């Protein structure tokens, strides 16, 4: 428990330092019309270059934008990889790279301060597991998909996300094999009930990606302060008298020397 608390505190410090380091860095944005598509895009951007995921901006009607910061070369590589991923989903809207964003943008637009939510994030019991996302058009189809996924494999429903235009996404966590089986079952059930829009399986999500995904309160473990006593008093040991032995009664070794006449 102590090790877990220290890891959370270290993550908070690292997030604070990262937020300060995001200033004066290049800005990259990739927009898509699907939440699973933008999560998969963000995952590919993080794994293809040394960038930091600031977060997502959802403006309605299904439009989601992944925002990354870093060196100009890394941002260009990340955006290129993100565009290719979004195109594979058939959901790409637009992309942008700004080498040196004007300082006022950091103050007004959510291109830097979104990382503050990482500092306030709590530890989830579902962390370090594979992620499965099933997006439907219509709430009944998503609920039916959730029920089918939970019954088909040993997975947990982490949360769900709404992005407008009738699109809602169920987010499950579990082992890679279980998530793959569950997502397949959810796809068939969603198509049976209504309209399936997109699916995504991320076997090994990075920490920055996990911190940007919603998690239901039932899975969150709030950070607790470590209770340390302020006044620590040394235990006083009572003095015990020790009886010394009588030296007169102790045997004495006598060394005998033999003198020989010359």
| pLDDT at res. 2 | 44
Task: State phi, psi for 116 to the nearest 5 degrees.
Answer: -65, -30
| pLDDT at res. 181 | 97
Bridge-based pairing of strands 92-98 and 130-137 is unpaired
Q: Give the contacts of 171 (CB within 8 A, at least 6 positions apart).
A: 131, 132, 133, 157, 158, 159, 160, 161, 213, 214
| pLDDT at res. 243 | 75
Place of tokens 């989903």: 89
Among 93, 126, 89, 102, smallest CA distance to 221 is for 126
CA distances from residue 74 to 16, 70, 97, 210 in whole angstroms, order as listed: 21, 6, 11, 21
**3-state class (DSSP) for residue 170:** strand
| pLDDT at res. 50 | 93
Would you say the pTM of this structure is higher than 0.85? no
| pLDDT at res. 17 | 52
Burial 242-260 (b: 16+ CB within 10 A, else e): eeeeeeeeeeeeeeeeeee
Q: Compute, in degrees rounded to 10, the torsion defined by CA atoms 80, 81, 83, 85.
A: 170
Surface-to-core class of residue 20, CB atoms within 10 Å of its CB (0-12 exposed, 13-18 middle, 19+ buried): exposed
Q: What domains can be seen in the chain, in order of their start residue?
A: 2-120 (3.30.70.1710), 123-221 (3.30.70.1710)
| pLDDT at res. 253 | 65
| pLDDT at res. 126 | 78
Backbone angle region of 61, left / alpha / beta, with phi > 0 → left and psi within -120 to 50 → alpha:
left
Tens digits of pLDDT across the chain (262 residues): 444 444 555 555 555 555 556 777 899 999 999 999 999 999 999 999 999 999 999 999 999 999 999 999 999 999 999 999 999 999 999 999 999 998 888 777 776 655 555 555 556 677 889 999 999 999 999 999 999 999 999 999 999 999 999 999 999 999 999 999 999 999 999 999 999 999 999 999 998 898 889 888 887 776 666 666 656 566 666 667 777 777 677 676 656 555 555 4
């Amino acid at each position: 428990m102590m090790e877990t608390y220290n890891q959370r505190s270290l993550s908070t410090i690292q997030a604070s330092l990262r937020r300060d380091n995001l200033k004066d860095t290049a800005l990259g944005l990739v927009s898509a019309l699907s939440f699973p598509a933008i999560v998969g895009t963000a995952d590919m951007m993080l794994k293809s270059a040394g960038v930091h995921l600031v977060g997502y901006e959802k403006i309605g009607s299904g439009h989601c934008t992944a925002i990354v910061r870093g060196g100009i070369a890394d941002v260009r590589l990340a955006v290129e990889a993100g565009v290719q991923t979004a195109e594979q989903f058939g959901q790409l809207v637009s992309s942008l790279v700004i080498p040196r964003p004007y300082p006022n943008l950091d103050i007004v637009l959510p291109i830097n301060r979104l990382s503050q939510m990482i500092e306030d994030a709590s530890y989830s019991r579902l962390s370090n597991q594979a992620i499965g996302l099933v997006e439907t058009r219509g709430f009944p189809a998503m609920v039916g998909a959730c029920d089918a996924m939970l019954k088909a494999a040993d997975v947990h429903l982490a949360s769900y996300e709404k992005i407008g235009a009738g699109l809602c996404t169920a987010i499950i966590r579990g082992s890679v094999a279980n998530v793959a089986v569950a997502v397949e079952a959810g796809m068939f059930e969603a198509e049976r009930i209504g309209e399936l829009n997109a699916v995504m399986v991320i076997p090994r999500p990075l920490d920055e990606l996990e911190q940007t995904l919603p998690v239901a309160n039932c899975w969150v473990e709030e950070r607790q302060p470590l209770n340390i006593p302020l006044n620590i008093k040394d235990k006083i040991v009572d003095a015990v008298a020790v009886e010394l032995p009588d030296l007169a009664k102790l045997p004495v070794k006598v060394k005998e020397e033999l003198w020989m006449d010359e």
